[in-house]
Structure 1
Amino acid sequence: MTQAMHFSTADGRRLVGRVEGESVVAAFDAPAEGFVPADDAWRAVRDANGERFAIADVHVHAPVLPRKILAIGLNYMGHVEETNLAKPEVPVVFAKWSSSVTGPFDPIVIPHEETRTDYEGEIGVVISKRAYRVSVEDAWDHVGGITALNDVSGRRAQLETPMRQFTVGKSFDTFTPVGPVITSVDAITDRDRIAVRTVVSGEQMQSSTSDHLIFSIPEIIEYLSRGITLEPGDLIATGTPGGVGDERKPPRYLVPGDVVRVEVEGVGAIENPVEAER
């Protein structure tokens, strides 16, 4: 299994490296966009023989800082059913600003105005090469790897405003934790059955596998690339399973002091403490 990590050392160097157990082996200086999983970048990571660092001694950043984050709503039947909405006939797409990206262990900060902050654990797909009008059959050839992400959602902003401000409610600063690594596609044992799980302060909230997606990862890529050029480093959030806090009775929103853990099979877990804006 090859996993790439984007990290900073104690002396301020920002690097990309290959994960080996509890260590990371430096491959190259990290560019502004982090690790873009193109073929040449993966070769550099696989061949890395630089300095070795204990992961516990470095600061782990989001592995990639994408130009575009394209997210899919209502893509697990469990989530469709809990919202009492109709099963979508085509993918439901919305955007998240890249400024919402934060590290895999950094705080989620709730803005003063937001009263309904929710979690959404998801499988993240990172594009490796330009994709335009890509077929389902060729879609995986344009994927550089997978990661874990939390599509944190401010439901007040998203749903209570008259025009339903999805982009605003989904794009508050720190509302897209990503990481801790990107795992190469060839290391994924079963690309059609990737497990995802969300735990909030020790309580399991979500658990499913990607074979329960309404629109598969290749179908999502085919749909998005009709008229939209997907670029290397772009991040696709593939949808969240049932069990979100907003649909629970009573609702279970994130509050300061919570810790949200999102696990993706073959990737590992992100784990973010929740804080109030100061």
Structure 2
Amino acid sequence: MSKAVHFETTDGKRWIGRLDGDDIVTAGEAPAQGFVPDEAGWTAIVAADGERHALADVHVLAPVAPGKILAIGLNYQAHVEETNLQRPDVPVVFAKLPSSVTGPFDDIVIPVEETRTDYEGELGIVISKRAYRVSEEDAWEYVGGFTALNDVSGRRAQLETPMRQFTLGKSFDTFTPLGPVIASVDSVANRDEIGVKTTIGDEVMQDGNTRQLIFDIPALIEYLTRGVTLEPGDLIATGTPGGVGDERTPPRYLVPGDVVAVEVAGVGAIRNPVRAEDAAASVTDRAQADAA
């Protein structure tokens, strides 16, 4: 049972390590992709015996920089019912851009144009080795670990624009908080029954369990690898339980000042403050970056 952390120390260096209570035991310098939960990666985490850092003294980063993020829609019956949509016969798949990934405790930044920013707490599956045309029977061999994520969704872009811009609305910068760790599969009591809970402040918004998935993890891997190769470090977002803000009466969207948390049993919780984009500062920062 291990939990891998990707973190930055005050000197700006990035490391991977093993979570040990409220400390991190350093395993080594972090590669560009962060922690990839393949056999070599887990061997290094288990054997970690380097410098210890208090979790509170470092900046915890997203555990991995996935090459691909494939997300599943309408994968809990309660979410199907709240949307008044038909239960899918095959997994509903969309992509999130890797540039949307942010750290487990970093800010979610609402773009100026977005008026319906929603939360979607989910279990994330991180792939451990190249997977192509994997059978359901063999699928667990390709799961490197679990993580928590928030599939933050700009419903205005996703649902109000012509042709419904799913990829754009799901991929704004900071719209995929991820972490705080990648937990080995044996870190959870039952890999088929993993709790997923979303809260805003003290209010529980979603409280689901992966035993309620319409398409379970092996079925998703089998379906996704028909014609698509998954690489080590790629991320599958398995779907969100019922209780999203857009389907409440009245709707409950994320607003500046909120702190939204997603807790996955056996993994831990991400907690992200929400703020509005400073449009003027953003334009200045980008102009300076272009001039550099």
TM-score by length of 1: 0.99
Within 5 Å, which residues of 2 pair with 1:184-263? 184-263=184-263
Within 5 Å, which residues of 2 pair with 1:41-52? 41-52=41-52
Alpha-carbon RMSD: 0.5
For the Cα contact (< 8 Å) 2:187–2:267, is it kept in 1? no
**Residue 215 of structure 1 aligns to which amino acid in structure 2?**
F
Q: Does 1:85 align with 2:82?
A: no
For the Cα contact (< 8 Å) 2:147–2:264, is it kept in 1? yes
For the Cα contact (< 8 Å) 2:126–2:234, is it kept in 1? yes
Question: Alpha-carbon deviation of 1:188?
Answer: 2.2
Moved segments of 4+, more than 4 Å:
none
Kindly provide the CA deviation profile for residues 91-150 of structure 1, in whole angstroms up to 9, marking residues without a partner as x: 000000000000000000000000000000000000000000001111010010000000
SS at match of 1:261: strand
SS at match of 2:254: coil
The number of residue pairs the alignment matches comes to: 278
How far apart, in 2, do the equivalents of 1:171 and 1:100 lie?
5
Structure 1: 5+ residue stretches without partners: none
The match for 1:170 is: 170
How far apart, in 2, do the equivalents of 1:244 and 1:238 lie?
15
**Residue 212 of structure 2 aligns to which amino acid in structure 1?**
H
Kindly provide the CA deviation profile for residues 38-97 of structure 1, in whole angstroms up to 9, marking residues without a partner as x: 001100010001000000000000000000000000000000000000000000000000
How far apart, in 2, do the equivalents of 1:97 and 1:190 lie?
30
SS at match of 2:37: coil
The match for 2:24 is: 24
The match for 2:97 is: 97
Structure 2: 5+ residue stretches without partners: 279-292
Question: Alpha-carbon deviation of 1:186?
Answer: 2.3
Question: Alpha-carbon deviation of 1:174?
Answer: 0.1
SS at match of 1:240: coil
The match for 2:72 is: 72
How far apart, in 2, do the equivalents of 1:40 and 1:82 lie?
43
How far apart, in 1, do the equivalents of 2:55 and 2:238 lie?
28
Q: Is 214-223 or 183-192 further displaced after alignment?
A: 183-192
TM-score by length of 2: 0.95
How far apart, in 1, do the equivalents of 2:186 and 2:209 lie?
18
Within 5 Å, which residues of 2 pair with 1:117-132? 117-132=117-132
How far apart, in 1, do the equivalents of 2:41 and 2:77 lie?
36
SS at match of 1:137: helix
Q: Percent identity?
A: 72
Higher relative helix content? 2
The match for 2:149 is: 149
